[in-house]
Structure 1
Amino acid sequence: MTEPIGVETHERLRRLPWSGPGGKTEYVTPGDGVINQIADSTEAHIVSMARDDAAYAVTMAERPEVSRDELCALVRKLADTVKDVASVAELRGERLSEPVYGPAARALEEALRASLRKFGA
């Protein structure tokens, strides 16, 4: 299908999981390029580190010799980790809304809703 004369189409850009100079949001054209691979790796690293931080927090919370100050520092670290993982979730959610993922995302959403209805939730 051709576009009407004078109408440009724009591919949706991917927001990257880091900021550029001056804290500006950075974007890249979606695809299999090096920048996209680095962004994927960065997101995976953030999620992996969050899992490690959560496991460490549980271990520390179970140790009676851990001081209140240490636990407070740990809670601050976990708060930062949750913020980082929430950012990754937002980034991935933006990509799920792309037309190529739309049908799969809608099918998954409907399957989850049906499961919840089945269990009375």
Structure 2
Amino acid sequence: MTNHNELRLLPWSGPEGNPCYLSTEGSGGYLSRLADHTEAVQLEMAAELLEHAVEVLDDGESEPNEVRLLAMDMTEALRDVRRVAISRGHRLPLTDTPACEEGDESPQLSAAAFG
């Protein structure tokens, strides 16, 4: 559910690497659907890259240049996944934070902790 007062962080950057935002009251518009599709592709590519990373890192004979390229690709994928998480987190409906149950001492994370 999108809050019509919020701007949606899009899964791509604008000129000079600046974030792009979309003002929308729903998710049925062309740009919203394109952003949804792009996010899905980015998440799938990150999952495939993660599988590849496990293979490369498990192989004791990987060349340093291959590991460096992998690190660069993983950095880009992590940047994309982080942007998707922030965008989707901002679109979650606001709810009251439930009180911790007795014995539950796990800290509550806020969106501010992620950026």
Separation (CA, whole Å) in 2 of partners of 1:35 and 1:58: 34
* TM-score between the two structures when normalised by the length of structure 2: 0.71
In structure 2, what residue type is equivalent to 1:48? E
* TM-score between the two structures when normalised by the length of structure 1: 0.68
Correspondence for 1:50 among 43, 46, 49: 46
2:32 aligned partner: 36
Partner deviation per Cα, 1:38-90 (whole Å, 9 max, x = no partner): 11111111111111111100011112331122112111211111111111111
* Aligned CA distance change for structure 1 residues 12 and 55 (closer, same or farther; 3 Å): same
2:112 aligned partner: none
| Count of aligned positions | 101
Cα RMSD of the aligned pairs, angstroms, is 2.6
Equivalence map 1:89-100=2 (5 Å): 89-96=85-92
- Deviating above 3 A after TM superposition, structure 1's stretches of 4 or more consecutive aligned residues are 19-24, 113-116
Percent identity over the alignment? 34
Higher helix share: 1
* Aligned CA distance change for structure 1 residues 116 and 33 (closer, same or farther; 3 Å): farther
2:10 aligned partner: 16
Whichever of the two has the greater Rg, that structure is 1
Instruction: Tell me if structure 2 keeps the 8 A contact 1:14–1:27.
Output: yes
1:110 aligned partner: 98
